[in-house]
Amino acid sequence: MPRKSLYDVAAPLYGRLVPGFVERTLSRAVQRVSTGSPETLLEVAIGPGHTIPLLQKRTSARSVAVDTSRAMLKLAQGKASSIAMELAPVQGDVLNLPFKTSSFDAVLSTFLVDVIKRPKLEQSLSEMVRVLAPGGRVVIAQLHISSRLINSVWDFAHSLLPESLGFVRPVDISDLFSGVGLRLIQDEVIDEAIGTRVTTLMAVRSSWT
């Protein structure tokens, strides 16, 4: 039997916990990804599916969800079934998404890039761009580096207790966008606490990638 990941173990708790700033951020991110009326939408690292009721309200896109954690996908699927929303759950890794190139009109990812190790961030974004159709929209929500001092505190805590933090630490990914063929069209701060911003970034895939 494959070893359970931290997120498999944490899924039941994570499924019940939705801090206010997460709720506000997910709501904004779903609003952003839905404008543009995508017909197909991929949510990368859907977790327990906090976005599902929001997606059902805002878009009629055919939705596919990917996550490495089977337990998270099970919760997300259960949430979708409970409100009669169609969702195709797929177990997979953002570093090697199990979908063909240009398969989706929109890609949504909330609080994933802040758990990906730095050297893999560019590859994660490249994969999201690969599966996105030219002109398609990507919306990414994240904890964002806002101050050097606070960032060093995060880095220190992360180096000591990465698992207790759920591997989370703030990142700044906007400088990676043009290299992977994304054009940033909006960078919005949703919340700010103890020097750490929560942002949603919206970008479109350039037609030449």
Instruction: Please select the residue that binds ligand SAM; options are 42, 87, 107, 112, rule is CB under 6 A.
Output: 112
Instruction: Please state the closest distance from residue 5 (CB atom) to ligand SAM, in A.
Output: 6
Beta bridge partners of 108: 43, 139
Could you say whether residue 75 binds ligand SAM (CB under 6 A)?
Answer: no
Instruction: Please state the closest distance from residue 207 (CB atom) to ligand SAM, in A.
Output: 27
C-beta of 121 vs 203, nearer to ligand SAM: 121
| Measured distance CA(170)–CA(157) in Å, rounded | 12
Instruction: Please state the closest distance from residue 18 (CB atom) to ligand SAM, in A.
Output: 8
Instruction: Please select the residue that binds ligand SAM; options are 47, 89, 136, 170, rule is CB under 6 A.
Output: 47
Instruction: Please state the closest distance from residue 115 (CB atom) to ligand SAM, in A.
Output: 5
SS3 state at 208: coil
Amino acid symbol at 47 = G
- With beta carbons less than 8 A apart as the criterion, state whether 173 and 98 touch: no
Token readout for 98 is: 């199990």
Could you say whether residue 110 binds ligand SAM (CB under 6 A)?
Answer: yes
- With beta carbons less than 8 A apart as the criterion, state whether 65 and 92 touch: no
C-beta of 111 vs 177, nearer to ligand SAM: 111
Could you say whether residue 93 binds ligand SAM (CB under 6 A)?
Answer: yes
Binding segment (CB under 6 A) for ligand SAM, from list 87-95, 126-134, 144-152, 195-203: 87-95
Could you say whether residue 162 binds ligand SAM (CB under 6 A)?
Answer: no
Instruction: Please select the residue that binds ligand SAM; options are 166, 191, 195, 206, rule is CB under 6 A.
Output: 166
> C-alpha angle 125/182/35, rounded to 5°?
100
Token readout for 89 is: 């759950």
C-beta of 121 vs 204, nearer to ligand SAM: 121
CA atoms in the 13 A half-sphere facing the CB of 189: 10
Could you say whether residue 41 binds ligand SAM (CB under 6 A)?
Answer: no
Per-position DSSP letters for 78-132, written without gaps between them: HHHHHTT--EEEEE-BTTB-SS-TT-EEEEEEES-GGGS-GGGHHHHHHHHHHTE
| Measured distance CA(42)–CA(59) in Å, rounded | 12
Could you say whether residue 142 binds ligand SAM (CB under 6 A)?
Answer: no
Q: Which residues bind ligand SAM (CB under 6 A)?
A: 7, 26, 45-47, 50, 67-69, 72, 93-95, 110-112, 115, 166
